Structure 1
Amino acid sequence: MYSNVGGQPGAAMPTASPPMNPFGNSLYGASSGLIRGGLGAYGEKILGSSSEYVQSNISRYFSDPQYYFQVNDQYVRNKLKVVLFPFLHRGHWTRITEPVGGRLSYKPPIYDINAPDLYIPFMAFGTYVVLAGFSLGLQGKFSPEALNWLFIKGLLGWFIQVALLKVSLLSLGGGEAPLLDMVAYAGYAFTGLCFAVLGRIMLSYSYYFLMPWTCLCMGVFLVKTMKRVLFAEVRSYDSSKQHYLLLFIALAQLPLFTWLGNVTVNWLI
């Protein structure tokens, strides 16, 4: 806005500026810097400790997930032979160790037949669901709800098996084995279930032979594995208690396999 001041038309009207505070900017900058620095250090401390806590617990309970998928065709064939025919396994059952970073570490499955993997359990679980759904279709009982129930039923059976192995270790004062080891050992049960369900599809009477056989083989495999591999981490335990627990693990396979194998008659049971 222009006005006529001092006889000079069009001159700009000077505006008043706020009083200068020589301490304002310095105090504001110092306070904001302290706030930002303090919050940053505090946040970094919280996030850093949280990250270290999460990483330490993941490494303790879940180990390295990539470790369980280092497999090849030869390992898969040999591992299936050990799981389905444990009586024919003439080698040792202990895992092979190697020095890594100044400490001993287990070799991955591709170099050790006794190492647990998650490739076979996941593939077997998916095959089990597909074969069970196909079996329901042959009986005229297939439905999306039935397939969903088979999926949930398989996961529930897997969880029960993991809990059984974990509780057995805890009862002996152990439990330091990685959780994914338990998940892998428990998931091998679906390999035998796949053969049993496939036998029922191809020849119904063969199911009554394959189911007890795969159940027995899985019991022997878990007993050998728990005794030679997992229980080796328990420093002190009662031998009689160990034998009872091993027997209980083997006997528990029969009701579990029977329940998971019942996929054609009354799928809601």
Structure 2
Amino acid sequence: MHSADDPVHRSKNHFHPSTAQASNGYEGDYTVPHTRSAPSQNAFFSPQSAFYSSSSQQTIPTNQVASSMELLSNNPFLNVGIKAVGDSMKDITGKTVNMLPNEMKKSLSSIKDYFAVDQIYVMKKLSLLLFPFRPRNWSVGYSADGPVPPRVDTNAPDYYIPLMSVMTYVLVAGLVLGTQNRFTPEQLGMHASSALVWNIIEIGLLCLTFYILNIQSKLRTLDLIAYCGYKYVGMIAALSSYLATHSLFVYRCSLLYVSISLSYFLIKCLRLKILPDTSGSHTYNANGNARRVYLLLAIVLIQPLFIWYLTRHLIVT
């Protein structure tokens, strides 16, 4: 008999986990998962990167990407397809341009002539727009068959001053709103969009009036766009006077003056283009030149209305 305290007896009754694991029938089927190392600090952490090791992440070699791009560039079918698409686009563009009327094609190709200005022309034209009352010759001294470069004739219309004045008007409007604590960045886009939309509406209505009344004149559509864009110079002058004085009376006086000066300028310039006979030898009648006079007055009188409408919301009464 062995006692319970016998070392031999204790060794026989002691349970060894390794022995039990070796005696069962599922040895080798279960293995303890190894501890995965945490991703480095520079790596992007995600549940997948926490469970899988960094060695299991697959990356595309750089040389493989370069070889794929080279294969695409050397593909003859792809090159033929790109060339066919380019030729088709050129053919469609050429046909579209050929389908346009000759007058429209001539106008599109002559837009660049309206930007042919220099510093002397800009200074003279701005002074002429603001102070047009002194006697002078208002006719264009060069050929009227095509657009005259403005730098060679101050009386020629241009696009540089209207474009720059529109941009300056938007900035001055934002400055006026800023002094009133009403400025937001969206206001610049709203004023620019409003100016563009009203210009399109104005030119569209005038062109429609020319068409309905069947009036043939020397005034081209591109010239009409330039003359209608000169009103922004007066708008800048009116807003600048209000910005400097914050006086409603000064603003109204400036608005009245720039409206009169612009109307006088347009009458002197447009009467030579809309009214071909100004000598008085030809009588105006309801079926002829009377309609030209009414149209000229409509163009002249609508400009002060636009000046007032596009600046009134900026003035605090």
TM-score of the pair, normalised by structure 2? 0.60
Q: Is the 8 A contact 1:197 1:261 kept in 2?
A: yes
Match of 1:146 in 2: 187
SS of 1:62's equivalent in the other structure is: helix
User: How many angstroms does 1:169 deviate by?
Assistant: 3.4
Q: Is the 8 A contact 1:84 1:218 kept in 2?
A: yes
Aligned-residue Cα RMSD (Å) equals 3.0
Q: 1:172 to 1:51 in 2, by over 3 A?
A: closer
Match of 1:192 in 2: 234
1:218 aligns with 2:268: no
Match of 2:210 in 1: 169
Match of 2:140 in 1: 95
Q: 1:166 to 1:224 in 2, by over 3 A?
A: farther
Moved more, 146-155 or 68-77: 146-155
SS of 2:136's equivalent in the other structure is: coil
CA distance in 2, matches of 1:163, 1:55: 18
1:133 aligns with 2:183: no
CA distance in 2, matches of 1:156, 1:136: 21
More strand as a share of residues: 1
Bigger CA radius of gyration: 2
1:241 aligns with 2:286: no
* 1:114-151 deviation line (CA, Å, top 9, x unaligned): 11111101111110000000000100100123222211
User: For this pair of structures, how many residues does the alignment match?
Assistant: 218
Q: 1:224 to 1:139 in 2, by over 3 A?
A: same
Moved more, 117-126 or 216-225: 216-225
Match of 1:159 in 2: 200
Q: Is the 8 A contact 1:97 1:106 kept in 2?
A: no
* 1:3-43 deviation line (CA, Å, top 9, x unaligned): xxxxxxxxxxxxxxxxxxxxxxxxxxxxxxxxxxxxxxx99
- Which of 106, 115, 124 is the aligned partner of 2:165? 124
1:256 aligns with 2:306: yes
- What 5-or-longer segments of structure 1 have no aligned partner? 1-41
AA in 2 matched with 1:243: V
Q: 1:48 to 1:166 in 2, by over 3 A?
A: closer
Q: 1:204 to 1:105 in 2, by over 3 A?
A: same
Identity of aligned residues (%): 28
CA distance in 1, matches of 2:167, 2:198: 14
Higher relative contact order (CA 8 A, sep 6+): 1
- Which of 229, 242, 258 is the aligned partner of 2:273? 229
* 1:83-104 deviation line (CA, Å, top 9, x unaligned): 222212x2222223349xxxx5
SS of 2:297's equivalent in the other structure is: helix
* 1:150-170 deviation line (CA, Å, top 9, x unaligned): 112222332344235434533
CA distance in 2, matches of 1:125, 1:47: 31
Q: Is the 8 A contact 1:68 1:116 kept in 2?
A: yes
Runs of 4 or more consecutive aligned structure 1 residues displaced over 6 Å after TM superposition = 42-47
Q: Is the 8 A contact 1:164 1:249 kept in 2?
A: no
Q: 1:168 to 1:94 in 2, by over 3 A?
A: farther
CA distance in 1, matches of 2:304, 2:94: 48
TM-score of the pair, normalised by structure 1? 0.70
CA distance in 1, matches of 2:218, 2:96: 22
- What 5-or-longer segments of structure 2 have no aligned partner? 1-87, 278-283
